[in-house]
Amino acid sequence: MPQPETADINSISIIIPVYNEAGQIIPLLESLRQAIAALPQPPELIISDGGSTDSTVQLAQRQLEQWQLPWRIISQARGRGQQLAAAAQQAQGCILIFLHADSRISSQYFHDMLAAVGQGAQWGCGRLRFDCGSLSLRLIAYFSHLRVRCQSLVFGDQTMFCRRSFYQQVGGFAPMFFMEDYQFSERAAQLAKPVELQAPVITSARRYRQHGVWHTNWQIQKNKARYRSGRYSLEELAKLYED
């Protein structure tokens, strides 16, 4: 059963879904360790592993054992939506932050987020930037900004945050392999408009580098159209996404 929400907005749970992120997990945790240093109180950290077959879990555990904050690593069947949902169900914080393994946030993110929540924000995200400054990726990041502003759609690589009470009111993440952020945003936007922080979220362009910027963006848009059409089951969408 969900725990009752504390009134202290400084009580934060950071949730990180991972799957075979051995190359990313140490840089992520080191970056996060620096970012949370200025927080009024240590956050709770939950890593939700989707059955990694590499050393992700072992590396994360070794690193976190050196930290002076509450943390746990949970195991869940692979699928980002269900990994996030399982971790959120166990989270104790008043504020939930959903951080992808290939994204980086700074202390400014926490400062801006706490200020926004203190002013009544129910949910929101950081402002997307890629770790590559090409014009095409800057355009994609800009359109992500417009998507939040005009459509109230927040994607996971923008590092979503929300009050835990609001997350529960919306109904949480659906157990989807992907598009869980899109679906959550659709439901959340019916209750409150998201706040986009000025703080940047630096996200890896590795997928774009691997498959090409416009090819990757076309695949993303095509998958969104498939989801919106309602003609595909979650299993079919997951297979098309992996293909």
Q: How far apart are CA 34 and CA 200, in angstroms?
A: 15
Residues β-bridged to residue 44: 13
Looking up tokens 């994204």 gives 103
Q: Name the CATH superfamily, with its identifier, for domain 12-242.
A: Spore Coat Polysaccharide Biosynthesis Protein SpsA; Chain A (3.90.550.10)
Give per-residue pLDDT as tens, 188-210.
Answer: 999 999 999 999 999 998 887 87
Measured CA distances, 6 to 11, 13, 95 (Å): 8, 12, 9
Q: How far apart are CA 8 and CA 10, in angstroms?
A: 5
The pLDDT score that the predictor gives to residue 4 is: 41
The pLDDT score that the predictor gives to residue 216 is: 76
Give per-residue pLDDT as tens, 77-128.
Answer: 898 999 999 999 999 999 999 999 999 999 999 999 999 999 999 999 999 9
Q: In 3D, which of 15, 12, 7, 11 has the Cα closest to residue 172?
A: 15
**Percent of the chain as helix, strand, coil, to the nearest 5:** 50, 20, 35
Tokens in use for 175? 């157990």
Phi-psi group of 213: left, alpha or beta (phi > 0 → left; psi -120 to 50 → alpha; rest → beta): alpha
Of 3-17, 66-80, 125-139, 168-182, the one with minimum mean pLDDT is: 3-17
Residue 233 has pLDDT above 80, yes or no: no
Residue 178 has pLDDT above 80, yes or no: no
Residue 40 has pLDDT above 50, yes or no: yes
The pLDDT score that the predictor gives to residue 243 is: 56
The pLDDT score that the predictor gives to residue 1 is: 35
In the chain, domain spans: 12-242
* Three-state secondary structure string covering 90-135: HCCCCEEEECCCCEECCHHHHHHHHHHHHCCCCEEEEEEEECCCCH
